[in-house]
Chains A and B, each alone.
Chain A
Amino acid sequence: MKVVIGGQVDKKEVEALVKEHGEGVTTSVKSDVEAAMAIKSGQADIYVGACATGGGGALAMATAILGKDQCETVSMPGRKPDESKIKQAVAQGKKAYGFTADHKREAISLIMNALLNN
């Protein structure tokens, strides 16, 4: 599985967390625009991205480039990641996942487990 790290902050940390999920997962770090384009062109399978404050930064460009139905807001300020919603999004085939930086560890763990067990 090719995971591209977009979003706006903590990209290296997010990449390290993704890499914890096995050798079958390859990663690349790009700008939010380039990362979304990588999904659109088929160069990558899954987009993950964090923003500092929530409210649009992590997924805004992915939403514009891939469409809302391909994107899932995993967490927002005051709203932690929800495992059942993530599993549902993965089952629906969504490709882009955004979260706030303070939730990155929990968010990546739930997203990657859902993807790898789907």
Chain B
Amino acid sequence: MVHVHERLRILLEGDVITKEASEIAAEAVDRLGIHAPQPQIDMLVTHLATALTRMERGEALEAPPEEMFKEVEHSSHIKDANEEISWVEGRFGQSLPEEEQKFLKIHYVSIFQEMGGE
């Protein structure tokens, strides 16, 4: 299995993500602790790093389908997800577009569900 830091190194060396995005994504994963589920962490770290890179490079992304997001918005873990996204925004130094926030909420809620049950 490829460790998170190895994953980020490959993405960085392939110029898929920027150095700042890599650093923030690594820190964001560290904040979740050692009990966070690996498959979901891999998805989060890849998505977060590419999302921050899109912002740095001025690229836009369309929002996820509404039905996908609706379920997440009503999750008991949405507050925790929002707190983590606020941390990312603070660390990155700017707000994330609503479209990117929605994707990240999906990933974070999935992780918190695995860690804490629903």
Contacts and interface: CB of A to CB of B under 8 A. Distances in A.
Do A and B belong to a common assembly?
A: yes
Interface of A: 8-9, 31-33, 51-57, 60-61, 63-65, 67, 76-79, 102
B63 A53 contact: no
Contacts of B68: 53, 77
B58 interface: no
What is the size category of the interface that chain B forms with chain A?
Answer: 20 to 34
A77 B64 contact: yes
A67 B61 CA distance: 21
Contact of B62 (A9, A78, A102): A78
Contacts of B47: 51, 53, 55-57
Contacts of A56: 16, 46-47, 49-51
Given A60-B50, A77-B64, A78-B62, A65 B14 contact: yes
Contacts of A63: 14, 16
B46 A8 contact: yes
